């Protein structure tokens, strides 16, 4: 035997007069599932077992009148949008105006005409059905929008890494440099954000942009001639000047991408600052602009520590990897001269985690 589910809309009738409940119940029960409550408190208790599609509510009731019941319904999350029709003998203009102002969907005066009640009920249920359908469509659209945003975000990250790795292919000795420095930058920024005065400048969103931009710090190396970029020994002063131009080349390329984008791309602004300024020094003796102190963008000051540490502890064709202890000494010795003191202090608290990252993303067995 197949049981048929009653899918008719549910109406809650609230009135302290049994005869009114009987009249309305007889009027509506053929088309709707009808529940009854003989007081405001009974109505509120009944709703705990299931929210009806519509409430027909009397106003004059002992203990808790209809106006107060509606106030309480509107304060509850589950019933704040449930349509309510007042059905009352109070027919003064103030009563109807006050009831509608409280959030009632309609107001019917007693003695009521049956067809008027049926029409008002049908109108409110159709309106609710339309609202529910629109809300469902909005949820579907929100889910689809979120899915597409996540997909675009994934594509963007993959594109960035592909671009960064493309530049890295011109300098194959760097291996997992991009992954390591990105991890170092993330740890430094997260820890520094907890230091006094940095919470606002290193918000969660800014840290996200910073970490995403980090792999592009050396993108300008695609413009450096092979004779300089791939030289297996120490560069001459002239060659070093050529090498130094990679910071400007990278910043210009990112700036052009930023200008030609059909819409603002927040991470490009951060990436541009990192590419141009991550070789600046706290004492003003860096390049390309000779910036000093806080004139250097914070993202670049963070990148500087991450980049130099990784360069020191990594093997290159022209040098061996430096022992970690020695590399740490170099970074700490540069506090206030090469590096931002605050970033350096944070680095000192993260040394063990830096070493763990270096091991996890090591280029070979000789990693620290």
Q: Which of 301, 288, 265 is nearest to 160 (CA)?
A: 265
- Rounded to the nearest 10 degrees, the angle between the axes of helix 177-192 and helix 341-349 is 100
Tell me the percentage of the chain whose pLDDT exceeds 90. 50
Q: What is the reported pTM?
A: 0.59
pLDDT of residue 222: 83
Strands 106-109, 10-14: pairing is unpaired
Low-confidence ranges of the chain (pLDDT < 70): 1-5, 142, 145, 149-175, 261-263, 317-318, 364-368
Structural domains present in the chain = 10-139 (3.40.50.2300), 169-360 (1.10.3210.10)
pLDDT tens figures, 71-125: 999 998 889 889 999 998 887 778 888 888 888 989 988 888 889 899 999 999 9
pLDDT of residue 166: 59
Task: Name, in order, each residue with C-beta under 8 angstroms of 185's C-beta and a sequence gap of 6 or more.
Answer: 210, 211, 214, 302, 303, 306
Give the separation between CA 346 and CA 195, rounded to whole angstroms.
9
Instruction: Taking the CA atoms of 214, 217, 218 and 223 in sequence, report the sign of the dihedral they define.
Output: positive
């Amino acid at each position: 035997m197949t049981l048929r589910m009653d899918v008719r809309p549910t109406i809650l009738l609230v009135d302290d007069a049994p005869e009114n409940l009987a009249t309305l119940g007889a009027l509506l029960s053929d088309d709707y599932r009808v529940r009854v409550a003989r007081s405001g408190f009974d109505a509120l208790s009944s709703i705990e077992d299931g929210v009806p599609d519509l409430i027909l509510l009397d106003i004059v009731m002992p203990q808790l009148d209809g106006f107060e019941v509606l106030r309480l319904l509107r304060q509850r999350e589950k019933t704040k949008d449930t349509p309510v029709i007042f059905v009352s003998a109070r027919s003064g203009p103030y009563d109807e105006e006050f009831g509608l102002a409280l959030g009632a969907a309609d107001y019917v005066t007693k003695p009521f005409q049956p067809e008027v009640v049926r029409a008002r009920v049908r109108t409110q249920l159709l309106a609710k059905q339309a609202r529910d359908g629109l809300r469902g469509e909005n949820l579907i659209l929100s889910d689809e929008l979120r899915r597409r945003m996540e997909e675009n975000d994934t594509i963007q990250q993959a594109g960035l890494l592909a671009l960064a790795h493309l530049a890295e292919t011109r300098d194959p000795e760097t291996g997992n440099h991009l992954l390591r420095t990105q991890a170092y930058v993330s740890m430094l920024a997260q820890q520094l954000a907890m230091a006094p005065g940095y919470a606002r400048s290193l918000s969660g969103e800014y840290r996200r942009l910073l970490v995403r931009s980090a792999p592009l710090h050396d993108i300008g190396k695609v413009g450096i001639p092979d004779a300089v970029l791939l030289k297996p020994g120490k560069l001459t002063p002239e060659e070093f000047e050529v090498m130094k131009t990679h910071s400007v080349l990278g910043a210009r390329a990112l700036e052009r991408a930023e200008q030609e984008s059909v819409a603002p791309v927040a991470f490009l602004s951060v990436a541009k600052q990192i590419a141009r300024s991550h070789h600046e020094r706290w004492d003003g003796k860096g390049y390309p602009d000779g910036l000093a102190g806080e004139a250097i963008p914070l993202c670049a000051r963070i990148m500087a520590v991450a980049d130099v540490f990784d360069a020191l502890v990594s093997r290159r064709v022209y040098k061996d990897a430096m022992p970690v202890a020695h590399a740490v000494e170099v970074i700490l010795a540069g506090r206030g001269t090469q590096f931002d003191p605050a970033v350096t202090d944070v680095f000192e608290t993260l040394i063990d985690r830096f070493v763990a990252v270096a091991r996890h993303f090591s280029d070979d067995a000789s990693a620290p």
